[in-house]
Structure 1
Amino acid sequence: MSADEQNSKIPLRVSNNTAYLWNVDDIAKLRSKHHICGILTGTLPHLSQQNAFLGIPLVLLPEEVVLLVENGIVVLIDDPTAHAQPNLVEIESWNNEQQALFRQQTVANEAKFAKQEQSRSLSEDAIQKRKEREERRRLAAQKLAQDVNNDNGLFSTESEPVTKEATLATPQSSIPTGTYTISIPASSEEYQWYSPHHATFSTIESAQKAGIWTYPSNLNERARCGVFRSLSEQGYFMGSGVKFGGDYLVYPGDPLRYHSHFVATVIDSPTQTLRPMEIIAHGRLGTATKKSHLLCTWDDEKKQVSYLSIEWASFG
């Protein structure tokens, strides 16, 4: 696969056999175009103590990862390997680059501040000249009033003092007080020793061979991947169904807008024994939560899924 093809795909960072997604735009794209919801597990800035609303990273279900890789939408990146350990020379070189960047930004900020100070000085000079003109006009008017009073006594020699409000007040300056803003790169991808190209895998087989991914490794995991793919291709959204006694919750649309209609349970084989007590439990639980329970049987030879829904019915 060429570098351009890899760059066009969404990178999933894999660590400890778990796939993480850190980019908000990629999260929105997977949700809107590919019906992949995942689970947000990160804390929110300034709200780290609450757990009602979470933020990035997004942790994907193993079935979601397999589906996305097989469809050519994402690539897997071995994140620990991608972060190469820098040597002292590389660290010193990076520090020098950062110091040079900081000095460059400081010089630019100082030049901008000096220009603003010069503009402020010119404005103050203009204001002072205007105040002087107003004062000369006031004195001239006062002298004229005195002259007229001396002639006919109709005007008083006293004139109202000019208050501070009568003069042009100096506006408050909006010039910054010398505080500079320095931009510091926050992403590890900016570092010269971060190189994911040699640790990128575009197939499940290559990731398994490299030892960074193990799913699916047995019949049950293959069945879960097959059922997940079948439901996804029919346009459904899926989430974890552990709270409702199944493997998946099946939504007709985005879970932010719809309630789930089904609780899906994966059955590994068409010949697998299903106890009557399980059927009763699934039926009762589905009815209590206003859902139908969906039994999804996987045929590993034919790679097909068959469905059977259970819904509790009253008698009499």
Structure 2
Amino acid sequence: ILVNIQQQRGLIFDADDYFTLRNDHRIVGNLIGIPASHPRNVNQHGLPAVLSCYELKLLLEKKLVQLIDKNEAFMAAPIDSQTERFVNMTQQQKEELRKPVIEKRLESFRKHLPRIIEGKRQKLIKAGQNLEGITPERLLQDERDRLSTESFDTLLQLPTKHPLEVDCSFLPLHLSAEETLKFRVFKALWTEGGYITVGDAFGCDFLLYPNDPLYFHASHMVHVLKDKSKRLDLKYLIRMCRLAIVVNKLCVIAYLDERYDSVVFETLEWEGNANKPD
């Protein structure tokens, strides 16, 4: 799967690739585009999808994606062959859009054909002309010929994925020390199952879901400690716990245990949220 790097962000433009990552590998990303089916709905988003650096790092380790840069090719003027291919593709789209419109018009014409024939016969009788040319087949063919030359309003598709092959270069991924620590936490969570997204909206590092976030709410808020030896600020701890209670989630603190070189998770439960005996 090819991931386009633009403005230091990894973008997925292909729908099949995105569903493969989401359904088979539990990589959700963040949809930032406008869905073609609901262009005016601000509550729904579509492709492209932005992948976080942690998701990209995990996918690179699993050898599921490659990072590519097409910016130079996109900024260059298209060559003649690319222009010709795009014009032909656009013309083909217009013809494909015309066919169902013509068939719909012909279907409506067939439905009213008896009345149309009767009306034409009455006109020819009044004019004293021959009625031999008034047949259903002849009228249907005349209508088809007329529609084939008529212009219709067409909607030109703007593909999300670039339809033409262009040159690209492959890029590496570099993480800072803080991002590397958070990636280890992300990888540990992903290995245990479930879906993980970034938790900026809830003031945490990650949100953990029992299944696809499209159908489930997050169950855990994960905070990553940069330095486990540093004393945890009490006010910060209270804020984390109370926020978790307000949004009905469990508060989890994650840190790296250097003795065993492994990620440790601690679940915090506020006293007002703990089970108390009657």
Using the size of structure 2 for normalisation, the TM-score is 0.70
**Residue from 162, 176, 196 that aligns with 1:217:** 176
Match of 1:195 in 2: 167
- The 8 Å contact of residues 226 and 303 in structure 1, kept in 2 or not, is answered as no
Alignment partner of 1:56: what SS? Answer: strand
Q: Which residue identity lines up with residue 264 of structure 1 in the other structure? A: V
Cα–Cα, structure 1 residues 13 and 289, in superposed 2: closer, same or farther, change >3 Å? Answer: same
- Higher Cα radius of gyration: 1
Deviations 1:206-225 (A, max 9, x none): x1xxxxx44x122x111110
- The 8 Å contact of residues 19 and 65 in structure 1, kept in 2 or not, is answered as yes
In structure 1, distance between residues paired with 2:200 and 2:158? 40
Q: Which residue identity lines up with residue 170 of structure 2 in the other structure? A: T
In structure 2, distance between residues paired with 1:75 and 1:300? 31
Pairwise CA RMSD = 3.5
Shift of 1:46: 6.9
Shift of 1:14: 0.3
- The 8 Å contact of residues 238 and 251 in structure 1, kept in 2 or not, is answered as yes
Deviations 1:68-107 (A, max 9, x none): 1111110000121354735xxx7344445667x58x97xx
**Residue from 91, 113, 138 that aligns with 2:79:** 91
Cα–Cα, structure 1 residues 98 and 229, in superposed 2: closer, same or farther, change >3 Å? Answer: closer
Q: Which residue identity lines up with residue 296 of structure 1 in the other structure? A: A
User: Would you say how many aligned residue pairs link Structure 1 and Structure 2?
Assistant: 229
Shift of 1:240: 2.2
In structure 2, distance between residues paired with 1:96 and 1:40? 32
In structure 2, distance between residues paired with 1:55 and 1:184? 15
Residue identity (%): 24
Alignment partner of 2:136: what SS? Answer: coil
Shift of 1:177: 2.8
Q: Which residue identity lines up with residue 136 of structure 2 in the other structure? A: T
Structure 1: gaps of 5 or more residues:
1-9, 110-167, 202-206, 208-212
In structure 2, distance between residues paired with 1:72 and 1:179? 52
In structure 2, distance between residues paired with 1:298 and 1:234? 16
Deviations 1:26-67 (A, max 9, x none): 111111111111111011337444321011100111111111
Alignment partner of 2:35: what SS? Answer: coil
1:170 and 2:141 matched: no
Alignment partner of 2:148: what SS? Answer: coil
In structure 2, distance between residues paired with 1:300 and 1:11? 35
- The 8 Å contact of residues 32 and 45 in structure 2, kept in 1 or not, is answered as yes
1:66-105 residue pairs with structure 2 within 5 A? 66-83=57-74, 85-86=76-77, 91-95=79-83, 101=88
1:135-214 residue pairs with structure 2 within 5 A? 170=136, 173=140, 175=144, 176-178=147-149, 188-191=162-165, 194-196=166-168, 199-201=169-171, 207=172, 213-214=173-174
In structure 1, distance between residues paired with 2:37 and 2:208? 34
**Residue from 262, 266, 278 that aligns with 2:220:** 262
- The 8 Å contact of residues 82 and 164 in structure 2, kept in 1 or not, is answered as no
In structure 1, distance between residues paired with 2:85 and 2:214? 45
Alignment partner of 2:208: what SS? Answer: strand
In structure 2, distance between residues paired with 1:46 and 1:21? 19
Match of 1:283 in 2: 241
Q: Which residue identity lines up with residue 57 of structure 2 in the other structure? A: V
Deviations 1:239-298 (A, max 9, x none): 121222211111111112222111000112331321122222111111121111000002
